[in-house]
Amino acid sequence: MVLGKQIEWAMHCASFLASLPEDMAVSVNVLAEYHEVPRDYLAKALQSLAKAGIVKTTVGPRGGYTIGRAAEEITLLDIVESVEGEKSTFSCTEIRQKGPCKMEEKAYSGVCGIAAAMYRADHAWRESLRSTTLADINRSVNRVVPAEQKRKVMAWLEGKLSSKS
């Protein structure tokens, strides 16, 4: 299973926004530049996050994106489902019921063992993402990112935001 790049981008942007002061709105252009990702594709991911209430948008010269609710209330699953939807990572096509040697239909009354295993794996994956919040991610980042790097990021960001005025 490979998730789209927009999932990673959305998670990083949400984490970044959650680490900023509540009133600091960041434009899609600045977020795209900061993460070195294509602006238009990032904009689509951010629109999905906004629709789900994960981020908020403000308009105007100092507008942009801010975090939509507390980082403790936003799970990684919320982000995945806002961008990719709630569909399962596995889709059973009942291949076992096809081909020249297939059995009678009544022989397939039980759930396919492969499908059952894949659905269990999907459930475990979702539970893991559901149990991880942006606050958890940001706490782990704060433990490893040096204070000097945090100051550098804020100085860069404030420079970008002040040039908008």
87, two tokens: 């569909």
Q: List the domains of the chain with CATH numbers.
A: 5-162 (1.10.10.10)
User: For the segment 84-131, what is each residue's pLDDT rounded down to a tens digit?
Assistant: 988 888 888 888 888 898 888 888 888 889 999 999 999 999 999 999
Please name which of 134, 154, 133, 150 lies closest in space to residue 142, comparing C-alpha atoms. 150
What CA–CA distance (Å, rounded) separates 99 from 58?
A: 56
In contact, 55 and 17? CB cutoff 8 Å: yes
What CA–CA distance (Å, rounded) separates 124 from 130?
A: 10
User: For the segment 53-69, what is each residue's pLDDT rounded down to a tens digit?
Assistant: 999 999 988 889 999 99
- At 165, the pLDDT band (50, 70, 90 cuts) reads low
Q: Measured between alpha carbons, how far apart are the two ends of the chain, in Å?
A: 44
